[in-house]
Structure 1
Amino acid sequence: MGSSNSDNPSLPRQSDTDSLGATDAGRYLDTLAFAARGVWTVTLAGVRPVAFWSAVVLPLCYLPSLYGVGTGQDTGLFVELVAWHVAAILLGHGHTPFWSR
């Protein structure tokens, strides 16, 4: 006895399964990118004011370091202080204080 076509369901073609996988992966990556942008925006909104005001206040810490107050580790402290100041400037660059809006 022969089998009829109605007994065997048709299998999907290779191109059909590939396109479904690419679409799902694209949606997943779009959602992941959207979530990452949201997390970055919220994090930066919280960090930016602190970084801005740190960039304003940190130069006051240069004076004791430049005059050699403390132990012989002042050079390392000064380099670290400059690195923190540069990071604060870069992160706090876009902050606008509430009185200048």
Structure 2
Amino acid sequence: MTVGSSSGDSPPLPHRSDTDRLRPTDPSRYLDTLAFTVRGVWTVTLAGVRPFAFWAAVMLPLLYLPLLYGVGTGQDTALFLELVAWHVASIVLGHGHTPFWSR
């Protein structure tokens, strides 16, 4: 009897085929991770911005009054349209905010 290993002593090595080496990565896994990250960042950002947007939506209509009565010069139309755009954005972003006294 000889010392050493024979082919019957050890299990066979796994055979790697060409398809194992060239297997593409699954892009849906990366897209899921990206979507999860973006959703998390959006949630954290919105949680910080929502109270300010809510109160801006409450207070911005007070600025309509001087513009509607013609206070100012020349660029009132552009200023009014910009104010309306800011007001709509603050309404959309601040929509889900609940003031502390309403909880």
Q: Same fold (TM over 0.5)?
A: yes
Instruction: State the shift of 1:12 in Å.
Output: 2.6
Residue in structure 2 matched with residue 100 of structure 1 by the alignment:
102
Give structure 2 stretches of 5+ with no counterpart: 1-11
Alignment partner for residue 51 of structure 1, among 53, 59, 67?
53
Q: Which residue of 1 aligns with 2:7?
A: none
What CA distance in whole angstroms lies between the structure 2 residues aligned with 1:76 and 1:26? 45
Say whether residues 1:39 and 2:37 are aligned partners: no
Q: Which runs of 4+ in 1 moved over 6 A?
A: none
Identify, as 1 or 2, the structure richer in helix.
Answer: 1
TM-score, length basis structure 2? 0.77
* Bigger CA radius of gyration: 2
Q: Secondary structure at 2:72's aligned position in 1?
A: coil
**Cα RMSD, aligned residues only:** 2.1
Gaps of 5+ in 1: 1-5
Query: Following the alignment from structure 2 to structure 1, what is the Cα–Cα distance between the partners of residues 71 and 82?
Result: 16
Give the secondary structure class of the aligned counterpart of 1:71. coil
* Counterpart-to-counterpart distance in 1, 2:89 and 2:80: 14
Alignment correspondent of 2:19: 13
Deviation string, structure 1 residues 7-44 (Cα, Å, up to 9, x no partner): xx643327x714xx12xx22222111111110000000
Match of 1:3 in 2: none
Identity %: 72
Pairs aligned (count): 90
CA distance in 2, matches of 1:10, 1:45: 50
Specify the code of the residue in structure 2 equivalent to 1:93.
H
